[in-house]
């Protein structure tokens, strides 16, 4: 029996029509695609590692040239002086997260920045020590939280409140999250959520979570690893206390790319706040005086530890220039259209098969550029078959394929082609 309703011709015709009016179509040519049988792969893994921007190689080579020709003088005389290199990132990062420029800084990597933020903002007492977070959160975040709880002398079983989806559901409702915050409010020090959940692709209502956390006197922070460059953010307006992110997913900064953080301006000039300090966070005017008294720079820069990792940041600079040119509004518009089309393609390919379903929320406001497809059987087999065809998706144990159509380089025809192969692979299982 034919259990699929996938119509190749109809979806390809629609994809062609949508691509013809795509205002971001030209940006695809600014990225490097891996090859499979002499052709560009179909790449849907930007939520794990974004593609390389063409300009990345040029920018890295320019820094290598300046290092070779200038040596230490490159700190002040390179074409992009290394002493102030990190400053350039303030404007694009502020645009992407909805912040003021002094509230953001590019530095370190995600989990390092999360530890730095919890050092400052997780100050538990015997009465107020809990951290509320989503259940089944990304392991690195959970490891960081558990270790911070133990460092302060508390047991994770008591201090960590991990909210699980209700029976029969895949994701958390905003009401469920707020109810948990209210229930534990008097004993909660920190509410820590991801902006977009890595496994389900659920986009959380960060404004509502921040408001609820503050109403009970708790600090609120977000991990934006799967949100920055993916969904619209307004951290300052939402009154978020802090946020951290990596830059190698939707931001296309390369493997191990320099991450970043946001600290609300209410904390900008608070030298009394406890923090792990380093010399690059010291007041720039006295940084090279080598004085022994730490004087933090105003704003997020005051949480820096070391000087800029210029070679890695050069690759990130190449990508962020592309984001500035494309504009987050246009990216978001295409994301909604592309993910919606992808959902229809996948749904058509699945047909009446009861052992496959999409667990990512169906409403635009509750997701970004990701669909998580859950399998009761054959999941890894289908994943391997897709990879063998040069279709790069992501497998997450125990039974999910993550599909991420990134607006800057994914076309609607890419999605139609995915659907055709996906359908053929499943037909071959019958």
Backbone φ and ψ of 148, nearest 5°: -65, -40
260-263 sheet: strands from edge to edge: 104-106, 260-263, 242-245, 219-223, 188-194, 130-134, 160-163
- What integer pLDDT is reported at residue 252 of this predicted model? 98
- What integer pLDDT is reported at residue 1 of this predicted model? 30
What number is the average pLDDT over the span 300-325?
97
- What integer pLDDT is reported at residue 285 of this predicted model? 87
Q: 90: closest CA among 106, 112, 108, 76? A: 106
What number is the average pLDDT over the span 355-374?
97
**Residue 333: cis peptide before it, omega within 30 degrees of 0:** no
Helix axes 412-427, 8-20, angle to 10 degrees: 160
pLDDT bracket for residue 340 (50, 70, 90): very high
Q: What is the mean pLDDT of the chain?
A: 96
- What confidence tens digit (pLDDT) does each residue in 136-171 have? 999 999 999 999 999 999 999 999 999 999 999 999
pLDDT bracket for residue 287 (50, 70, 90): confident
- What confidence tens digit (pLDDT) does each residue in 162-219 have? 999 999 999 999 999 999 999 999 999 999 999 999 999 999 999 999 999 999 999 9
Q: Can you tell me the distance from the alpha carbon of 114 to that of 197, in angstroms, rounded to the nearest whole number? A: 16
Q: Judge contact between 320 and 337, C-beta under 8 A.
A: no
Q: Judge contact between 113 and 260, C-beta under 8 A.
A: yes
Q: How far is CA 123 from the centre of its chain?
A: 26
Percentage, residues of the chain above pLDDT 70: 98
**pLDDT exceeds cutoff 70 at 52:** yes
Interacting residues of 248 by C-beta distance below 8 A, sequence separation 6+: 49, 50, 254, 255, 256, 257
The CA-to-CA distance between both ends of the chain, in Å, stands at 9
Q: DSSP secondary-structure letter at 53?
A: E
Q: What is the dihedral of CA 57, 60, 61, 62, to 10 degrees?
A: 120
Beta bridge partners of 115: none
**pLDDT exceeds cutoff 50 at 2:** no
Q: Judge contact between 25 and 409, C-beta under 8 A.
A: no
- What integer pLDDT is reported at residue 5 of this predicted model? 58
**pLDDT exceeds cutoff 50 at 329:** yes
Retrieve residue 221's tokens: 């922070």
- What integer pLDDT is reported at residue 131 of this predicted model? 98
Q: Judge contact between 63 and 310, C-beta under 8 A.
A: yes
**pLDDT exceeds cutoff 90 at 6:** no
**Domains plus CATH for the chain?**
8-22+327-427 (3.90.1150.10), 60-324 (3.40.640.10)
- What integer pLDDT is reported at residue 8 of this predicted model? 84
- What confidence tens digit (pLDDT) does each residue in 82-97 have? 999 999 999 999 999 9
Q: 307: closest CA among 106, 115, 100, 114? A: 106
Tell me the three state secondary structure of residue 194.
strand
**pLDDT exceeds cutoff 80 at 108:** yes
What number is the average pLDDT over the span 234-243?
98
- What confidence tens digit (pLDDT) does each residue in 400-414 have? 999 999 999 999 999
Tell me the three state secondary structure of residue 188.
strand
Place of tokens 């989503």: 134
Q: What share of the chain is helix, strand, coil (3-state, %, to 5)?
A: 45, 15, 40
**Residue 229: cis peptide before it, omega within 30 degrees of 0:** no
- What confidence tens digit (pLDDT) does each residue in 7-34 have? 889 999 999 999 999 999 999 999 999 9
Q: 279: closest CA among 261, 300, 264, 297? A: 297
């Amino acid at each position: 029996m034919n259990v699929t309703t996938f119509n190749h011709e109809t979806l390809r015709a629609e994809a062609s029509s949508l691509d013809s009016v795509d205002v971001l179509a030209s940006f695809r040519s600014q990225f490097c695609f891996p090859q499979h049988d002499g052709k560009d792969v179909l790449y849907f893994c930007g939520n794990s590692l974004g593609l390389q921007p063409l300009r990345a190689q040029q920018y890295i080579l320019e820094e290598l040239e300046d290092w070779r020709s200038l040596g230490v003088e490159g700190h002040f005389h390179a074409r992009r002086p290394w002493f102030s290199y990190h400053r350039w990132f303030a404007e694009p990062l502020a645009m992407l997260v909805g912040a003021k420029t002094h509230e953001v800084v590019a530095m370190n990597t995600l989990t390092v920045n999360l530890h730095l933020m919890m050092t400052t903002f997780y100050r538990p007492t015997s009465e107020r020590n809990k951290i509320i977070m989503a259940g089944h959160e990304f392991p690195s975040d959970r490891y960081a939280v558990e270790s911070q709880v133990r460092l302060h002398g508390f047991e994770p079983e008591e201090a960590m409140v991990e909210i699980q989806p209700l029976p029969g559901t895949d994701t958390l409702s905003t009401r469920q999250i707020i109810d948990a915050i209210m229930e534990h409010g008097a004993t909660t020090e920190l509410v820590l959520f991801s902006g977009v959940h890595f496994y389900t692709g659920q986009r959380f209502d960060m404004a509502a979570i921040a408001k609820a956390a503050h109403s009970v006197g708790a600090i609120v922070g977000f991990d934006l690893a799967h949100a920055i460059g993916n969904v619209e953010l307004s951290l300052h307006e939402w009154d978020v206390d802090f946020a951290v992110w990596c830059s190698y997913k939707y931001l296309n900064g390369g493997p191990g790319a320099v991450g970043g953080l946001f600290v609300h301006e209410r904390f900008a000039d608070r030298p009394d706040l406890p923090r792990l300090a380093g010399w690059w966070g010291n007041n720039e005017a006295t940084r090279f005086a080598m004085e022994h008294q730490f004087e933090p720079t105003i704003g997020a820069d005051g949480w820096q530890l070391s000087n800029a990792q210029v070679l890695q940041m050069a690759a990130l600079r190449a990508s962020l220039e592309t984001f500035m040119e494309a504009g987050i509004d246009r990216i978001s518009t295409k994301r909604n259209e592309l993910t919606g089309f992808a959902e229809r393609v996948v749904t058509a390919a699945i047909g009446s098969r009861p052992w496959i379903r999409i667990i990512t929320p169906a409403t635009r406001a509750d997701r970004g550029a990701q669909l998580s497809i859950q399998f009761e059987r054959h999941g890894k087999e289908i994943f391997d078959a897709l990879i063998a065809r040069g279709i790069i998706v992501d497998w997450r144990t125990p039974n999910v394929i993550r599909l991420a159509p990134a607006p800057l380089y994914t076309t609607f025809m890419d999605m139609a082609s995915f659907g055709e192969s996906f359908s053929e692979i499943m037909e071959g299982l019958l």
